[in-house]
Structure 1
Amino acid sequence: MWILLFTACSQEEVKQSPSESNRIRISATLPQDAATRTALPFEDGHQLRCILEVWSQDKTPALVYRSEQLGYGADGQELLIFETELESASYDCLIWADYVEANAPTEEISVNDKVKYIHYADKYYDTKDLKKIAVKDPSLLFYNNACDAFCGKTTFFKEAEFASNVTATLQRPFCKVVFMEKDEANFSIGKSMNITLKMPTEYNVSTEKPLNQTEVNHSREFATDEPDTNTERIVSTAYIFASAGEELALETISMNFVNRNNQQYTQQIPAGIPVVRNKRILARGYLMGKKIFGPEDAQIEVTVSDSWNTPDQNNEANGNVVKRPHVGDYLYKDGSYSKDYIADTDNPVIGVIFKVGMGKGDKTEDYGEIFRDKEIQGYALALFDTDGVAGGGVRLQSTDKKSILPLEEVSRLTVDEDGTGYTGYSNTQALLKSHSEEGSEGKGQYGALTQFTNNKYVLEAPEGSSGWYCPCAGQMRDLQHHYYNPETKTDGIVKKALQNLIDEGVEKVTLMNTLYNGSEWEYHTVSFLSTGHEWHVNFSDSKYGIVEDPAKDTAKGNPYIKRWMRPILTF
């Protein structure tokens, strides 16, 4: 059920002397959530302008009075008061309030011999006719709180021999649709976006109806510090004229995103997002990546909010901005991270963050006590392979056992039939346990993993992290998403971060390897089919991605075959 708020007004008559009997006093009040200047979406360089029009109620209505004023009343809630003289009759009162430039130029406009007024230059709306408010540039209604506006309509009867006081509470003539990204990783590398939708570009204050449905396009660039300052992950907002007493809906919306890996995504948001006057519509979804509109993610979550200014669920407490990790950040020995590389011999860089937030299917309980009382912030890639140099590689399993991992060993693991699992840590630990267990089929077989015990790996992991381990297929998929784009042949943010460390002269840092002695090699994972075949990952340009169907070829999926291994950790 939609609760629609209608303009409230009151009229008082006070008997006056004949010289004052024609005087009327009209005042407008802002809605309660906009009762102070700090609550209003106010921007530097703007000031609030209020317009009053009074129309006769004849068969052919005529404009009998118009005035424009700037600013607020003394209490910050009541707008400036209009006073004029009117003959005894019935009238329609139309009010509009919007933002103009702080030093807006003025001009005197004469409608007729009786109606003359000073007009302040419009910025966002053409207001010379309140029965046909027209948007000057529709693209300015996106991601711009200075285009906020208020309006109201009321009728009154001017009694003879009485002075009248009329008050009206204004409302917004539109809703504000807020598009929000669910995935923190995709948002953290956003570069630019474009949105195309159909929306009305005119509004009649008298009928309280929007007019002139028009296709509108808007583009914007994401600020470099936006992942820190835009904690709600708002990709765009749109002020859309709405009809009083009637719920409308948007048609299909097209969005196009480009990220800092130069990858491009086009999303079609289905028709049906509601447009309700004086409401804020929060539309959340996987907008900036591949997850949206597949079988599992076809729905956009829509919330209709009565409050215009209350922070949404992702805002930090008390409005404080909390520094969070982002894909491409550098991770240091003490667990801190930074966007730009900081050289410090006492606190050296140890990795590059490739995923933020908990991975799909990962579980804090799989890490024992490590993440019992804290959240998983993300995952980081080590600066080099396990041997520390380009070349060589390792065997995940020391002995060739019919080209597979023995089924007894498979039973210890979380199997991964589609190569999307997020079980690198738990499977690494399970294989290490088998390696040291007397009588186990895997006794002494997984020496390549033993360097991840007791923080033996040459790169010291931060206290409170998982420590280093061999990644699984799902983690490698996320890494590849931010490492390289084989379609456009452009480097992603993680690869660029590693290359920057190489350029800075940080020792031993290597990119992900592709060739060994002229042959294409893959990387190990600890993800296995139930048949015992290992999922491998290729970083070469021609075969970039997870090696599909590892059970079809004895050379594919065999954990005994020597391949590279690049550790990761969870923090």
Structure 2
Amino acid sequence: MKKIYTIIAALAIATGATAQSFTVHTKDGKTVKYHCSDVDSISFDNEKEPEVVAPRIGDIYYSDGTWSTKLKEGATPIGIVFRVGIAGDMSDREGFYTKKDGKTPFDEFHGYVVALRDATAKDDTNEGVWWSAFDAKFTGTGASTNIADFLGYTNTQSIVETAIRDKGELNGSTNNYPATYYATTVYEQTCPAPESSSGWFLPAAGQMEYLFDRVYFDEDGSGRSCVSATFELLTENLATPLYEPDSEYWTSTEKVDSYGTSTWAYYFSFDSSQFKPGFVAAYRKNSEIRVRSMLAF
């Protein structure tokens, strides 16, 4: 609540009854001087700052870097929280991450977010892109080959660095790394990530599998928060569910064969038309498969 004091009472407390003026010193080094005769009253604001609620699985993540369980009026949803805290049990580390500027460490690592729409969507049609061109002698970008880890962010960095080293830049051409380009550059243009986040990246196979197996469905009927319920809440105008027909996605996880070459990469199937969806499989990198971005916050 706010308490209002007359200038006479306030100055009597702060500076003594004989004061003719008073000076306010602010924390940024500025000073403002007031004459008593010019001031009618002083308002002291005792209101507490609103408490920040910790994120939960299924929370809506917004363009301003905030989150909530229910839709917030005037805020723009851009993703859904699918894991809270760092996935240390899946080889990820807080120290791997910086904020979107690529330099600033996180103040606090809250968790992971999956985007609301495909990065490869165009005119309401979900198109596919290549992971990269086919090169029988290519030994890989240095991205992880472990299908069970959460290293999508560092994988994406390795792919981008390889593109810059070998091609001069990352772009959407088929002889470059279009899946990563769409997950990062293209989706950033369509849906900018908050400055406080990691920025968008191409998820690892383990992140997609975790999303499907652990948090997408409310399988036990407990009514607990889950990702599919949030997709339903957001409706078709705001989001496109992952679990739907022909829904297969590239991951940033590479496959390296026994000869040490890498012409295949892993994708994940959310395809609801299949008898048993929810699996990781490898396929030729020069195949057209969809892309869905993620970020850390």
> Could you say what the CA RMSD is over the residues aligned between the two structures, in angstroms?
3.1
What is residue 250 of structure 2 aligned with on the other side? 524
Aligned match for 1:424, one of 142, 152, 155: 152
3-state SS, counterpart of residue 450 of structure 1: helix
Aligned match for 1:351, one of 79, 87, 103: 79
3-state SS, counterpart of residue 563 of structure 1: coil
After TM superposition, give the deviation of residue 365 of structure 1 in Å: 2.8
Task: Tell me which moved more, 474-483 or 359-368.
Answer: 359-368
What is residue 569 of structure 1 aligned with on the other side? 295
| Whole-angstrom CA distance in 1 between matches of 2:104 and 2:151 | 15
For structure 2, the residue ranges without an aligned partner over 5 or more in a row are 1-49
Aligned residues: 227
3-state SS, counterpart of residue 380 of structure 1: strand
**TM-score normalised over the length of structure 1:** 0.36
| Whole-angstrom CA distance in 2 between matches of 1:464 and 1:335 | 6
CA, structure 1 residues 485+328, in 2 after alignment: closer, same or farther (shift >3 Å)?
closer
CA, structure 1 residues 406+343, in 2 after alignment: closer, same or farther (shift >3 Å)?
farther
The Cα offsets for residues 302-321 of structure 1, whole Å up to 9 and x where unpaired, read as: xxxxxxxxxxxxxxxxxx97
Q: Does 1:401 align with 2:135?
A: yes
3-state SS, counterpart of residue 324 of structure 1: coil
CA, structure 1 residues 539+376, in 2 after alignment: closer, same or farther (shift >3 Å)?
same
| Whole-angstrom CA distance in 1 between matches of 2:250 and 2:166 | 25
| Whole-angstrom CA distance in 1 between matches of 2:103 and 2:55 | 19
Q: Does 1:384 align with 2:117?
A: yes
What is the aligned-residue identity percentage? 26
For structure 1, the residue ranges without an aligned partner over 5 or more in a row are 1-319, 551-556
What is residue 285 of structure 2 aligned with on the other side? 559
3-state SS, counterpart of residue 355 of structure 1: strand
**TM-score normalised over the length of structure 2:** 0.67
Q: Does 1:330 align with 2:65?
A: no
Choose between structure 1 and 2: higher strand proportion: 1
CA, structure 1 residues 565+458, in 2 after alignment: closer, same or farther (shift >3 Å)?
same
The structure having more radius of gyration, on CA atoms, is: 1
Matched letter for residue 277 of structure 2: Y
Q: Does 1:446 align with 2:183?
A: no
After TM superposition, give the deviation of residue 325 of structure 1 in Å: 0.4
CA contact (8 A) 2:218 2:226 kept: no
| Whole-angstrom CA distance in 1 between matches of 2:291 and 2:187 | 17
What is residue 294 of structure 1 aligned with on the other side? none
Q: Which structure 2 residues correspond to residues 170-569 of structure 1 after superposition, within 5 A?
A: 323-344=53-74, 347-359=75-87, 360-368=90-98, 372=105, 374-388=107-121, 389-397=124-132, 399-402=133-136, 406-407=138-139, 409-410=140-141, 412-416=142-146, 419-438=147-166, 444-451=175-182, 452-453=184-185, 456-480=188-212, 481-484=214-217, 493-502=226-235, 505-506=237-238, 509-512=239-242, 514-515=244-245, 520-531=246-257, 532=262, 533-541=264-272, 542-548=275-281, 550=282, 557-569=283-295
After TM superposition, give the deviation of residue 526 of structure 1 in Å: 0.5
CA contact (8 A) 2:61 2:113 kept: yes
Choose between structure 1 and 2 for higher RCO, CA contacts under 8 A separated by at least 6 residues: 2
CA contact (8 A) 2:62 2:77 kept: yes
CA, structure 1 residues 335+445, in 2 after alignment: closer, same or farther (shift >3 Å)?
same
CA contact (8 A) 1:329 1:353 kept: yes
3-state SS, counterpart of residue 460 of structure 1: coil
| Whole-angstrom CA distance in 1 between matches of 2:220 and 2:51 | 37
